[in-house]
C-alpha cells in the first residue's frame, strides 16, 4: 500500500480547521460557520436528494435545523475523527473523515445520534481554508 502520507503540517492545520468549524456550528454561530465554506459551496448527502448550493441555501437549511433543536431543547456536539488528508496538484485538499453527532438534552446523558463519513474538498481563499464541496454519507441509511 502506498500511503501518500499528507504533510504533517498540513495535517495539523486541517484538524485545527475542523475543530473551529465544529465549535462554530455547535455554538449556533451560523454566520461565522458558513464562512468556512466557499461562496459557491455544495453540500450533499445520501438522505436528502436535494443538495444545497451556495452559502445562502446552506444557511437556510442550518437555521431551520437549529430552530428545531432549540424548540426540542437539544444541543449538538459534532466530533470529527479518523481524518485522512490528501493534497492534490492544483492545491485542492481532499479530506475524508468520520463524524459523529452527540445530542444532549438538559438533565440527561448525551446520546449518540448519528455516525457519518464525510468527504470534503478544501481550498485556500485569502489564506484561510474553505470547504468547496461536502459529501456526507449517513451510516445506517440506504
Q: Report the interface residues with a copy of itself, using CB under 8 A.
A: 1-3, 5-6, 8-13, 15-20, 22-23, 32, 35-36, 75, 77-85, 96-98, 100, 102, 104-115, 128-129, 139-142
Give me 51's grid cell: 443538495
The answer to whether the CB of 91 falls within 8 A of the CB of 124 is yes
Report the number of secondary-structure helices (H) and strands (E) in the chain: 3, 6
Grid cell 424548540 — which residue? 71
CB of residue 40 vs a copy of itself: minimum separation in angstroms?
A: 17
Q: Which three cell numbers stand for residue 65?
A: 435545523
Q: Which residue, 51 or 77, is less far from a copy of itself as judged by CB?
A: 77
Give residues with Cβ within 8 angstroms of 36, minimum separation 6.
17, 20, 21, 24, 129, 130, 131
Q: Whole-number minimum distance, CB 123 to a copy of itself, in Å?
A: 14
SS3 80: strand
Closer residue to a copy of itself (CB): 8 or 49:
8
Enter the C-alpha cell of residue 75. 444541543
Instruction: Kindly tell me which of 62 and 100 has the beta carbon lying closer to a copy of itself.
Output: 100
Tell me how far, at minimum, the Cβ of 66 lies from a copy of itself, in Å: 16
Instruction: For a copy of itself, give the closer residue by CB, 2 or 88.
Output: 2
Give me the least distance between CB of 120 and a copy of itself, in Å please. 14
Sorted by sequence, the CB contacts under 8 Å of residue 68 that are 6+ apart come out as none
Question: Minimal distance in Å, beta carbon 60 to a copy of itself?
Answer: 20
Q: Which is nearer to a copy of itself, 15 or 44 (CB)?
A: 15
Amino acid at each position: 500500500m502506498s500511503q501518500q502520507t499528507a504533510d504533517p503540517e498540513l495535517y495539523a492545520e486541517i484538524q485545527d480547521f475542523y475543530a473551529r468549524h465544529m465549535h462554530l456550528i455547535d455554538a449556533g454561530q451560523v454566520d461565522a460557520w458558513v464562512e468556512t465554506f466557499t461562496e459557491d459551496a455544495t453540500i450533499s448527502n445520501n438522505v436528502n436528494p436535494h443538495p444545497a448550493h451556495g452559502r445562502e441555501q446552506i444557511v437556510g437549511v442550518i437555521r431551520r435545523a437549529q430552530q428545531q433543536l432549540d424548540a426540542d431543547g437539544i444541543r449538538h456536539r459534532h466530533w470529527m475523527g479518523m481524518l485522512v488528508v490528501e493534497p492534490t496538484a492544483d492545491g485542492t485538499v481532499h479530506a475524508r473523515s468520520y463524524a459523529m453527532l452527540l445530542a444532549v438534552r438538559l438533565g440527561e446523558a448525551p446520546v449518540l445520534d448519528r455516525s457519518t463519513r464525510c468527504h470534503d474538498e478544501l481550498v485556500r481563499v485569502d489564506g484561510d481554508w474553505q470547504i468547496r464541496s461536502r459529501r456526507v454519507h449517513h451510516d445506517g441509511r440506504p
